[in-house]
Every structure is written in C-alpha cells, then in structure tokens.
Structure 1
C-alpha cells in the first residue's frame, strides 16, 4: 500500500511571534556574554588576570582565553543538536540558555590574579568553556526553531531577528563599558567591571521564562509523525552521519559561507576596541561608542536585509555583503587611522551596518534551507560552529598579532579580504549546485524540501 506524504506543517502567526521573541532574547544573552568578554578583554582583563604582562602581551592573553570558548563551541553544538534532532528543539533551547546565563554570572564572581594568583586565569578559562558549550547550540537552535515556524517566503525576515539581536547584545554590553569608562580606574578594576556580568541575570531570567512557554516546532512534529510510520524520511539515530552521507556538499557550503561575516564581525566589534585604544592611542570611549554605533545600526539594517533576501534570494544578499566588506576594509582602516573620533565611529557603523548586516540578514535562512528537518539542527551547528571556532574566536588574536608584526593594519586587510572570498566561493558553489539540480536560481527553496535547491 502506498503511503501518503505527510501533511504540510501549519504555521500559526501568534506562535511564530512567540518563538521569534524567545529565540531573539536567547541570542541576546549569548552574544551579550561574548561581547561583554570581548570588551573586557580589550579594556580590563589584562591588568586583572595577567598583571605581569605588557599591554600587548596581556591583551593577547585575554584574547587567547576569548578564543577558548570558540574551540569548545562545536562540541557543545553537536551534543545539544543531536538531542535537538532526536528529542526536540525546545528542551535544548531551555538547557543552553540556562548554561550560558549561569556561566556569565559566574564570570562576575571570579577572584582576580591579585587574590588567588594563577588560578584566576584558569577559572576564567573554565567559565569561558562553559559559555562556549552553551553558545555552541544557541544559534543553530534559534535558527532551526524560527525557520521551522515560518513559511519560506517570510523566512529570511523572521530568522534575521536572531541575528539583529546580536547587535542589541553588543549595544548593551559595550554600553555598560562605555558608562564604566567614566568611572575612576581604581574603582573600575576594583569592582565596577563585575556589574555588567552580574546584570546578565535579569536577561537570563526573562529569556528562560519565555522559552519555557514556547511549543515544539510544526516541522519537527510533522517529521516525528513521519518517523512513527517508519518512513524513509524519519530521523536517524545519529543525525550527523545522515548529514555527512546525504548532504556533504551542503555542509561544505555551510562551513565556508560564514567565513566573511565571522572575521569581519569580530574585527569590528572586538579587535577594533584594542586597535583604537592601544595602537592608535585614542580614548577607550571612542572605541566603545564606535561599537555601539556599529552594532546599534545593525539592529535595524539586519531585518531589512533579511526582508530583501525574501524578495531576491539568499545568495545575492549574502555574496553582496561579502563583496562590499572586501572593498570597504582598506578605507575602513584609513578612516580609523585619521584618529578623528567622528570618522572612526562612522567607519565602524558603515562596516557593520552594511556589509556585515547583509551577511547576517541572509545567512540564517540560507543555512536553514540547506538541510532537511531530520538533521537540520545538527548540520547547522556543525557547519557554523566549526567556522566560528577556526575564524571567529581567533580573529582578534590573529589581527592583534598581525599588527604587532607589521606595525600597521595592512596584513589584517589581506586576511579579511581572503575570508570574504571564501564566503563568495561558498555562494558560487551553492549556485552551481542549484543550477545543476534545476532548482530556483535565487537561492529560495520550497519549505517542504529545504535541501532540494542544492541537491545534485
């Protein structure tokens, strides 16, 4: 007897809004933590946890621990995503927000080097590892949940809110340090630096409350019913193996497509703080205001680019953002090197508000539409977090080292341009596969077969 295909999922607008809000707040707490640590690494963690080092060495040591969380993100992402693809999206979203919230508050309670010596940076590294384990599944979970609550023609817009929330997180965290910049240095290093970390408890509590109220996604429930009938489309015991077997090229595309945005993002919102303060010898306030302007702009521009990706396709918007960034990075550093506060802030706002926002606004839907429901969570976590591990967390360290070696920013420019080319290559490869399969050339796909456009 021929089995009937599963009924298409029914999308409820109220439930969609609820899951968008829940996912966005979770993204805020994830990136509030990472942005907070990035700002603290550039501004205060050196003297607090590495007081015996020079300014450059202390900053490098802080950025090295900053990168630690990124090396454990893939592990946390894969473990949590495995559960998310087998059991459900909701339990994982609740667990990850709890782990990240607790770890962020713990940073604010840590003793410094002056109190316990070498154990201080060790404990700092351990809290970063816990944050990384939780954050590794946060983005993939949020994108998966939102994409499975929305029809294809609105997916770019709705999934972009999680990415726009990254900007809000940076505004909150960097804003804290902008205010603390007016605090006397001895008070800042004494206790004031702890306040932003401890304040995350409020965001964490709100996010946990909202996430407990969301329901499982319609597409996952439809796939679960299919599994109950024993169909070939049922979820497997090891989703990662299924993704590797069925979608190896999509995994390569997903891995490479984030190169440009990860490097450009951490260059602007983390490395530039150190570059402006230590290399250009400008006020830390200028640096923090620049990050606030840059990420604050993205709160509005990311959803606009997500909406644009619904109109013209994910691929043109994603590749366009990478092309803009590659062309803009040389004048970006030229503007920074003028040491004019207005031009510095403007340079950062344009970098993040245009090139970075275009990539952020389109990437979520692009990734979600690469993979089937039964292993989507795992595949997004694997492809994205491996790239973040290699290029995201290491960018501030690499850029700082390149400036120290060359005495200027031009090796950094080459590094950034190379990574934009990786994103452009990923999009071109995706388009090539899509043409070979006869799929739509704009990168949009049918919601019932999200991997169809790239399957050859």
Structure 2
C-alpha cells in the first residue's frame, strides 16, 4: 500500500473555492435559462404559441440540456477517472461559459424565424455537455481532499454554490423585471447572460492553480486494474451503490426545480401575480440555502449523511401540500415565505448531505464516473423535466396544483427508499490519506 498523503488544509480550501466557483458557473447558466424561460423566452423565441404554450415550449428546451448531461458527464468522467480530475474541471467550465455567453448573443424569432429556437437548442446542448461532468467533478475533487470527519461540510460548499448561482441569475431578472417590458424583451434580457463572462474568467484562473487530488495520485500508484472502462467497473463492483446513487437525488431534484424554476411560472402565469414577487421568492429561497446547506453539512458529519438526507426528504414530503396552500393565498409575503422554507429547510438538508453521501458510495478508481452516471441520469429524468411535467399537470388539473403535489411527494419517497437501501451496503473505508481516517464512518 502506498504511504498516506499528508492532509493539506490550504490546498483543500483552494480546491473548495475552485470547485464552488465552477458550480456557480454551471448553475448560473441553468438558473438563468430557467428564469428566462418562465419570464421572457416564450414571446422571444416561440411567439406563435399562447402564453401557456410558450412556457411549455421554453421549458421543453430547458429540459433538452438535461438529456445530454449524462452523455457529457460519462465521457468527461471517464477521462477524469483515467487521466485526472483537473483537466476535466478546466474544460467543463470553459464549455459552459462559452455556451452561456452565446445565449446572450442569439437573434430572436423576429429576426431569423425558426432558426432562433434551433440555435437556442444548440447552446442548451453545449451547456448540458459541459454541466454533465461539472458537478460530479467538483464533488469528487473536494471529497478526495477533505478530511473524513468533515467531508459533508467541505463538499456542501459546492451545493451551497448552487444557491448562490440562483441568487445571481434570478436576482438579475428581479432587477430587470422592474424595467419596462418592451426594454426587457428588446435587449435587457441579454445582460445577465453576457455578464457571466466575469465569473467564467475567475473560475478558469483559479482552476488552473489547483493540484491533482492526493487520493487520485495515490490510487495511480496501486497496481492497474484489468478493467479499462470505469463505468463497467462500477457496474460490476458496485451495482447496488449505483441504484442508491441514482434514486437518492429524486427528492431534491424535483423539489429544487419545483421551487426555483416551476414556481416562477406558476406564480406569474397561473396565480397571475407580479413577476417581481416570483423572482424575489426564488432569490430569498435559494439565498437561504447558501447559509443553510453548510450548516446541514456540519450536521451530516455529526449524525450521518443518510439520516440528514432522509430527514430532508421527509420534511419536504410533509411540507409540499402547505407549500402550495401558501402560494395560493396570493399574498406576496406568504408566497416568499413558502418558497424560503421549502428551499431553506428540506432542500438544504438534502443538499448538505448528498455530495458526501455519493462520494462515500464509490471507490476512487471509478468514483467520478459513478457519481456522474447516478446523478446525471436522475437529473435527466426528474430534474430538467420537472418544470415541464409540473406545468402540464397544472394545466391538466385546470389550474390546481394537487397533481404536482402527488408527483413531488412520490419522488421524496424514492430518496427515502434509497437511504434505507444504502444501509444494506458495506461502504468503502475512510481513505487513509488524511489523519481523520481512523474515525468511524457515518453515512
């Protein structure tokens, strides 16, 4: 066995910052498009549809990127497991940054007709390819630097960065919603997309300065595996872990996109309230997670990742019915409060525990690939499709949200089931590259 690597707290903090900024880029891209889909993309790129039809068309394109995420994630993760984490992290953030800026430069339907939505779809596909490996790579890199007893806390910052991304993107649109509608649809909607070039530049600068993870370097010194394809290795050695990883994100993906994307459209179009109320609700909700997610990460390190992940799913399942009852009051303060509780408590608990939960399911030699596969397939099936599914369910129910409630609660049960199944699995031992590896494992 190779000698244990010395834990480098300074290097670990650098990786946390680099990974978090990349995650901000990833989710700024997706959150920005989600907000634009709900508020302006319908008339700009699908003007021949009704208001509801335009929203559905926009959300359909929103979902497109999620269908290529698994492919992009698996290809990039394969390289990450075979060659290294760092080069993949630099490539993915570059691709996402370029694609996002390109959205801000697109001509609309009025200018080039049907080619406008075609180009929009192409940029979404590029975003999806880049984002497919971004989060898995960020979580893998941080988990392989983090001390065992603080792994959930360290990895939670990547998840908290998702909230920061939504604050930035939706906050932009909250400001833009206050300007005249014709100015917003003429040119102002482009500003948030073009502004992403600043975050993108900072992310590239920082990521070029990080080193390869010590756990990956140590694993390279071990005898090479006969299996050259990490995904096949994961299927052969950890099939139940892959099932757990696939299912555990169901609750948080559905609940997250229900609050931060679908609720924008629901509040504005179904409840016919001000777009400002909807965007402020998302800013308050996702902003609360920036603080709450690391706190739940600390809790997960103390009591176990599984209990915190399952607790968040149970809370969310119980809270979804009153969440819609509060929205339906049409009282701005209650709408914002409802969204903040949903994201700041249930969603944040699941986010705080999930990254460490996933990283501890898989061995180093195929961890990047296994996390990308299990997470991105679930995001493809339930994350990107949630706004579309929820909008269709509300339409089918004549404006009532109760079909959405049943759908969302069912997905929380899938997360609860995944945690219960994980208790039957013997998890990998704590890596011996950090001093905390002698501590007992909690998952």
TM-score range normalised by the length of the shorter chain: over 0.9
Q: Which residue of 1 aligns with 2:131?
A: 135
Q: What displacement does 1:403 show?
A: 0.2
> Match for residue 205 of structure 1?
201
User: Match of 2:382?
Assistant: 391
Deviations 1:92-125 (A, max 9, x none): 0000000000000000000000000000000000
User: Partner of 1:36 in structure 2?
Assistant: 32
2:404 corresponds to 1:412 = yes
Which one of 81, 86, 90 corresponds to residue 90 of structure 1?
A: 86
User: What are the residue-to-residue correspondences of 1:26-105 with 2, within 5 Å?
Assistant: 26-105=22-101
Q: 1:219 aligns with which of 215, 222, 241?
A: 215
Unaligned runs of 5+ in 1: none
Q: Is 1:446 paired with 2:409? A: no
Paired residues, what number? 437
Among 304, 319, 334, which residue is 1:328 paired with?
319
Distance 1:432 1:344 in 2: 41
Deviation at 1:446, TM superposition (A): 1.8
Q: Does 2:136 correspond to 1:145? A: no
* Alignment partners' CA distance in 2, 1:377 and 1:218: 14
Shift of 1:453: 7.8
Q: Do the aligned residues in 1 keep the contact of 2:46 with 2:109 (CA within 8 Å)?
A: yes
Change (3 A) 1:453 1:150: closer
Residues of 2 paired with 1:9 and 1:324: CA distance? 40
1:154 maps to 150
Cα 1:355–1:445, aligned 2, differ >3 Å: closer, same or farther? Answer: farther
Q: Deviations over 1:135-154 (max 9, x none)?
A: 00001000000000011101
Deviations 1:386-427 (A, max 9, x none): 000000000000000000000200000000000000000000
Q: State the alpha-carbon separation in 2 of the partners of residues 72 and 191 from structure 1.
A: 29
1:22 corresponding residue in structure 2? 18
1:430 aligns with 2:422: yes
- Deviation by residue 1:368-388 (Cα, 9 ceiling, x = unmatched): 000000000000000000000
Aligned to 1:377: 368
Provide the residue aligned with 1:275 in structure 2: 266
Whole-angstrom distance in 2 between the partners of 1:235 and 1:269: 44
2-side partners of 1:314 and 1:107: how far apart?
A: 38
Aligned partners of 1:104 and 1:235: how far apart in 2? 40
Q: Note the alpha carbon deviations across 1:16-68, whole angstroms, 9 max, x for none.
A: 00000000000000000000000000000000000010000000000000000
Unpaired runs of at least 5, structure 2: none
Match of 2:341 in 1: 350
Deviation at 1:236, TM superposition (A): 3.9
1:433 to partner: Cα distance: 2.8
Conserved in 1, the CA contact under 8 Å of 2:241 and 2:425? no
Equivalences for 1:281-292 in 2 at 5 Å? 281-292=272-283
Please name the residue that 1:340 is paired with. 331
Query: Following TM superposition, by how much is the alpha carbon of 1:182 offset from its aligned partner in structure 2, in angstroms?
Result: 1.0
Q: Is the 8 A contact 1:224 1:235 kept in 2?
A: no
| Aligned-partner Cα distance in 2 for 1:352–1:375 | 32
Please list, as runs of the form range in 1=range in 2, the aligned pairs for 1:108-123 lying within 5 A after superposition. 108-123=104-119
- 2: CA distance, partners of 1:236 / 1:12: 31
Runs of 4+ with >3 A deviation: none
Instruction: Note if contact 1:85-1:235 (Cα within 8 Å) is conserved in structure 2.
Output: no
- TM-score, normalized by length of structure 2? 0.97
Q: CA–CA distance in 2 between the matches of 1:57 and 1:387?
A: 26
Shift of residue 276, structure 1, vs aligned partner:
0.1
The equivalent residue for 2:6 is 10
